[in-house]
Structures are given as structure tokens and as C-alpha cells.
Amino acid sequence: MTTRILVTGGAGFIGSHYVRTLLGPSGPGEVAITVLDKLTYAGNPANLDEVRDHPGFAFVQGDICDPELVGKLMAEHDEVVHFAAESHVDRSIDGGAEFVRTNVVGTHTLIDAAHRAGIKTFVHISTDEVYGSIDSGSWPETHPLQPNSPYSSAKASSDLIALSYHRTHGLDVRVTRCSNNYGHHHFPEKVIPLFITNLLDGKKVPLYGDGGNVRDWLHIDDHVQGIELVRTKGRAGEVYNIGGGTELSNKQLTGLLLEACGADWDESVEYVADRKGHDRRYSVDCTKIRTELGYEPRKDFATGLAETVAWYRDNRAWWEPLKERAAL
């Protein structure tokens, strides 16, 4: 029996990879996917070209804050995987209103419609940033939420709204909180694709503060693997951290990117003022998803980074127009 899955934000970086994976030759089969995407600046129809002719694929351009459209789509599907979000911290610092609208109001619109339509499973994709910052150790899923940016605050709010529909109405809601993703088709405003594309063009890269902020890096292949384990084997009302297991300071990451692109530190790195409220370190404890669902990252960082650099080197036609429009 075919499972009908509504994927919000499926034209973006992670959502499109999820769709390509499920509808690809190594996918689970017996799934039909409808992508709902507003096609804001970070949503790119070209990300879905690989699956556009798949018989199990459909695309709807629309807003997750539109209750009429969302209600209609929910009635036609069995499950939801909710990626759609405003996600760039710097943009949220410049103005948080759109983050509240999309991440909070949009999630409520979706989860309420899912409840009313009797959706079987609702997987809500979140972020490790909701936990705040941690000096040592790693956050378990039970750690209190202490977000520090308008972006992460909006995501924390959306987590709580989604989980409230499990506790209040019994809806099968499952939340994932991932560490920093990287890989191909990543919009070039985020640090890895921004640095790679700048270096390929012989430009400088902006390194915040002292470069000592630490992040855990997760390849999109492994993130999609984790999401699928949660969708197919996870428990209702539970939160699952998904990490990649490679913690690097931004300075260390910059050094690896310079090496991969054949660039020199003194000529290519420009230190800039630190981001406001910049969290020092993120680190998620993935014990739960490993022991319960058998998750294990498969892509080692050296291989993943080399593949990512090669993809951007070979796909200028994909990213150059994006950088020109956004003036990055």
C-alpha cells in the first residue's frame, strides 16, 4: 500500500534531498510525495529536477500559513514531514517577524490541520540551536530549551506547539533536532557553501570573531537516514537528536576549506565582527536515536567535505545565479 507523504519545504536544501532520496533507486518504495513549498529565496525548483517525472511526485507552490490550502492537502495525505522554515540566523537578527510567521504560525497551521485530518504521523524537523549553548558535554533530548536568537526561539516555539498536539490530542508527532548540515544543493548564504563559492571565485571569506565557535557537522545523507528512521520506527511524542559526530571550531573548518580549495589563509580570510548573541558551542547527545533506532553516521567528514567542494566546483550554473540575486 502506498504511503502518501506531504513534505513541506521540499524545494530547499535538506527537504529536497529527502525527496530525492525517497523517490530514488535506494528509496523505500511504495511512497508518493507531494512537496509544498512557497519558493522563497532559498527554495529552488531545480533541486527537484531529478524526481520531477517520477510517478509518485507532485509539487504545490503555496504557503504553510494558508489554512485553506493546508487543510485540503492534509485530507489527501497519510503522513507529514515538515521542513519548511526560515533558518538563517543572521537574517533573523536583522528582522525576526518573518521567522515567527513561518516557523511558529506556519507550524501551528500545519499541525492543527493534521490533527483535524487524522494524519497518521507528523515528523517535525527542528535544530540543535533550540538548546542554546553548551561549554562541555552534549545535550540529551530532555535538556531545557534555551534559545538565544530570534531564529532558534521561533524553532523552539514550533517544537512546543507540535508536541502539544501529541499531549493534548494524541496526534503522533515526532520531533528531530539536528546539528549543522552540509552537502550539495546548499543555499550559498550558510558558512560552508558561502566559503567554498567565495574561495572558488578568489574572494575572501568572513570569519566571525576569533573563529572559536564550535559546531557538530552532519552530512545530509546521514540526516535523511535519521529522519527516515524516526518516521518509520520512532515513537509518538518523542524527540530525537541527530548528529554527525564531527565537532570543529569555525577556525578549524575554515582551514579545511582553504586546503580543499587551494587557498591561502593570509590572502583569503577576513576577520569580521562577531555575530550578536553568537552561541559558542553546540553538541547533541545521539544516544537515544542510536540505541532505539540503530542510527549511525556513515559519511566521514573528510569524504563528505571533498565531495561537497567538488559539487560546487562542477555546478556553477546552480549557485552563481543564486549569489547574484542575493548579492552574497
pLDDT at 93: 81
110 pLDDT band, cuts 50/70/90, is very high
Answer yes or no: is 210 within a domain.
yes
Q: Which domain holds residue 15?
A: 3-181+219-242
CA angle 151, 154, 160 (to 5 degrees): 140
Together in a domain, 133 and 264: no
Phi/psi for 238 (5° steps) reads -105, 155
Q: Are residues 199 and 270 in the same domain?
A: yes
Residues in Cβ contact with 262 at an 8 Å cutoff, skipping those fewer than 6 apart:
none
In a domain, 288, yes or no: no
Structural element, H or E, at residue 199: helix 191-200
pTM of the model: 0.96
- Do residue 101 and residue 12 come from a single domain? yes
Angstrom distance (rounded) from CA 186 to CA 51: 18
Task: Name the nearest CA neighbour of 282 among 157, 133, 62.
Answer: 133
Name the catalytic one among 18, 131, 151, 282: 151
129 counts as catalytic:
yes
- Whether 155 and 253 share a structural domain: no
CA trace torsion 77, 81, 86, 88 (10° rounding)? -160
Same domain, 128 and 91: yes
pLDDT for res 94: 82
| Angle formed at CA 297 by CA 294 and CA 298, multiple of 5 degrees | 110
Residue from 248, 244, 243 nearest 281 by CA: 248
Question: How far is residue 29's CA from residue 140's CA, in Å, rounded to a whole number?
Answer: 33
Is position 312 annotated as part of the catalytic site? no
Catalytic residue, from 78, 79, 112, 129: name it: 129
Inside any domain, residue 174: yes
**Residue 247: is its pLDDT beyond 70?**
yes
283 within domain boundaries: no
Q: DSSP character for 78?
A: S
Is 122 among the domain residues? yes
Q: Which of 118-132, 190-204, 273-287 has the lowest mean pLDDT?
A: 273-287
- Distances in Å between the alpha carbon of 121 and those of 4, 17, 44, 280? 11, 20, 26, 35
Q: Does residue 103 form part of some domain?
A: yes
Distance CA 245, CA 282 (A): 11
Q: Is the pLDDT of residue 277 over 90?
A: no
Domain co-membership, 28 together with 110: yes
Residue with cell 557537522: 217
40-63 residue pLDDT tens: 988 999 999 999 999 999 999 999
Strand order in the sheet with 239-242: 57-61, 31-37, 3-8, 79-82, 121-127, 173-178, 239-242
The pLDDT score that the predictor gives to residue 278 is 87
Higher pLDDT, 92 or 55: 55
107 with 20, same domain: the answer is: yes
pLDDT > 70 fraction of the chain, expressed in percent and rounded:
99
- Assign 3-class secondary structure to 314-327: HCHHHHHHHHHHHC
- Please give the pLDDT value at position 89: 79
Residues 112, 128, 141, 216: which is the catalytic one? 128
Q: Find out whether 146 and 280 touch, Cβ atoms under 8 Å.
A: no
Q: How many domains does the chain have?
A: 2
Sheet (strand 214-219) strand order = 180-182, 214-219, 246-249
Same domain, 270 and 202: yes
pLDDT digits (tens, 9 = 90+) for 192-207: 999 999 999 999 999 9
Taking all residues of the chain, what is their mean pLDDT, rounded to a whole number? 95
Residue 285 lies in a domain: no
Claim to verify: residue 307 and residue 209 sit in the same structural domain: yes
Which CATH number characterizes residue 122's domain? 3.40.50.720
What's the CATH number where 194 sits?
3.90.25.10
Residues 63, 123: one domain?
Answer: yes
Point out the least confidently predicted range of 90-99, 148-157, 214-223: 90-99
Lowest mean pLDDT among 67-71, 87-91, 158-162: 87-91
- Strand partners of residue 58: 34
Q: What is the pLDDT of residue 325?
A: 79
C-alpha cell at 221: 545523507
Instruction: Report the percent of the chain where pLDDT is more than 90.
Output: 88
Instruction: Report the run of H or E that residue 208 belongs to, with start and end.
Output: strand 205-208
Same domain, 194 and 234: no
> Is pLDDT of 328 > 60?
no
Query: Could you tell me if residue 60 is inside a domain?
Result: yes
Number of H helices, E strands in the chain: 13, 12
Both 22 and 115 in a single domain?
A: yes
What CA–CA distance (Å, rounded) separates 93 from 108? 23
State mean pLDDT over 258-274. 94
Q: What pLDDT does 91 receive? A: 82
Alpha helices in 43-137 (DSSP H): 67-74, 89-94, 97-99, 106-117
